Structure 1
Amino acid sequence: MRIERILSCDAVHAAADLFDAPPISAATERFLAEPGHHLLFAYDDSGRAVGMISGIEMTHPDKGTEMFIYELGVAPAARLQGIGSRLVAELGAIARRNGCYGMWVGTEIGNDAALATYRRAGASEEAPFTLLSWDLIEGAADV
């Protein structure tokens, strides 16, 4: 298996099945154009993309820069082979090289597969938190 940073929209569209929904061309181009946005694919020995991770460097004036794991996905046929853990480790290496002081991810409490993957990759669990969100499309008039 090899892991590569993805900089091409064509590569993203060729591996569309790794994402929750079909990639949007304009959003893909915008994501890939940002230097602090990272998209990595894991390829099997046949050259097929079998896993992906995306991360975003976030900087705050009183904290510095940290890496946020935005999404991790592994093709169903390639699960339980350590691909997710390898992708997390590679993103962590990029974060360290770029001077990030830490890396974090949020996932659902009942997502046992994600929790196991992140723990295997060295994450420690912190206090639970509540996620609040705004729907800026549907509820635009409410904001």
Structure 2
Amino acid sequence: MFNLPDFDTVSASDAGATLTLVREDNGAIARDKDGNPITLTVLGSDSAQYRKAQQKNLNRRLAKRTVKVTAEELEAEALDILASATVAWSGFFDGIGDPIPCTPGNALDLYKSYPSIREQADRFVSDRANFLGSRLAA
């Protein structure tokens, strides 16, 4: 049976979902110093916050009245959008063992410094299935 609310990707994306990071070298779950999984809580690409960040970038381009966009600008915009969609995390510690707070600035630094984490987060955010759970499985 077709149930329209099962396809509500906006509400599910606004609620966010948790990504458990995996190690690139062996595919195992990445763990913090205490053995707990390292996670990111992110909003989906259909969330209001994600779309607002996309619109902000587009409005900036339109205000410039130019179609020229550099690769660097596109990458910076993508990083900003992903950082704005990152709302919580666990397992991130600084060099002396203190937890690193999840802020847009810290998320931006994380994604700039660790491309493999950025790629995992970007894939997760873009996959609507991560925000619908098992609702479509029936």
TM-score normalized with structure 1 length: 0.26
- TM superposition score normalised by structure 2: 0.26
Larger strand fraction of residues: 1
Higher helix fraction (1 or 2): 2
Q: Per chain length, whose mean CA-contact separation is higher, i.e. which structure has more relative contact order (CA < 8 Å, sep 6+)?
A: 2
Computing the radius of gyration from Cα coordinates, the structure with the larger value is 2
